[in-house]
Amino acid sequence: MRVGMEFFIGLSAILFCLGLYGALSKRSAVMILMSLELMANAVNINLVAFSRFVTPKVMTGQFFAVFMMVVAAAEIGLGLALVLALYRQTQTIEVQFLNELKG
Amino acid sequence: MLSTVSGVAALGMSAIVVGAAVMMLTSRNVVHAAFWMLGSMLGTAGVYLLLSATFVALVQVMVYAGAVAVLLLFVIMLTLRRREDAVRSRDFSAVALALAVLFGGVMLYVLWGLHVPAAPMPAIVPGIEEFGLLLFSTWMLPFEIASLVLTVALVGAVWWSGGRRGR
């Protein structure tokens, strides 16, 4: 049995939905960041699959995936720094307690 | 070379990726969830190897399975006051589930009618050497911008998380 590009795009869609569910339902800021990483991962799988099956010689998707990883690494670094700063100010990382701006 | 990938290996790797992601979302302990995310990232590296993207797989293991997992574990440890705080009550949201299922349904429906002409792989699979040559010729400017982005992010992270006492 051999599989083509549709299989990998389907895998990436499922992974993206799992990440979406986590990002919407979790209450801990760290868990939300982890779900965001899952979604970024799904996008990367998509890019690499397109690179393998559409432009195998020039590997455009692979470069996109690598730059995507750079952005995701920057995002997780800044996000976790923000979580630490938040914890220092409010002593909690549960997002339902962060409602100071609520009118 | 064929324009397809071995199905058994692809199914196994996908099972690891999706299974670890589901376990991450359902585990109640935050530390366990971080380790399940690590498993999902390693499975993704296997998927990249199947797609003959050697360099991306290496970067995946180094950046996600290495740096991001360690960073996550550090923050989890720093923001837990007691060991018992790691175990959380189960977060369940029907609205989030409905949204995710709707989104996934639409995506899979679109995927059903999708037909992308697949180009066959060249006889000599482009490896890390070709990747490096292209990276430092065609993709030179994005590479430099990426290094700038990382530097700014690093400085910003230190600035945000560093304690500024007395303010």
The greatest distance separating any two alpha carbons of chain B, rounded to the nearest whole angstrom, comes to 65
Chain B residues with CB-CB distance to A1 below 8 A: 6-8
Residue A12 has φ and ψ, to the nearest 5°, of -70, -35
How far apart (Å, rounded) are the C-alpha atoms in residues A20 and A26? 10
Does the pLDDT value for residue B77 go beyond 60? yes
Could you tell me if B25 lies within 8 Å of chain A, comparing CB atoms?
yes
pLDDT, residue B15, reads 94
Q: Please tell me the distance in Å from A100's CA to the nearest CA on chain B.
A: 19
Judged against a pLDDT cut of 70, whether residue B153 lies above it is answered with yes
Hey, which residues 24-43 in chain A have their CB within 8 Å of chain B?
Answer: 24-28, 30-31, 33-35, 37-38, 41
**Which residues 47-76 in chain A show a CB within 8 A of chain B?**
48-59, 62-63, 65-67, 69-76
> For residue range B93-121, what is the model confidence (pLDDT) as tens digits?
889 899 999 999 998 888 887 777 666 66
Q: What is the pLDDT of residue A33?
A: 92
CA A77 from chain centre, in angstroms, equals: 13
Phi, psi of A28 (to 5 degrees): -90, 135
CA distance B88 to B110: 37
Torsion of CA B109, B115, B116, B117, to 10 degrees: 160
Instruction: Residue A11: list chain B partners with CB under 8 A.
Output: 14, 17-18, 47
Q: How would you write chain A as a 3-class SS string?
A: CEECHHHHHHHHHHHHHHHHHHHHHCCEHHHHHHHHHHHHHHHHHHHHHHHHHCCCCCCHHHHHHHHHHHHHHHHHHHHHHHHHHHHHHHCCCEHHHCCCCCC
ipTM of model:
0.89
The dihedrals phi and psi of B153, each to the nearest 5 degrees, come to: -65, -40
Q: Does A102 touch chain B (CB under 8 A)?
A: no
DSSP B6: E
pLDDT higher than threshold 60 for residue B1: no
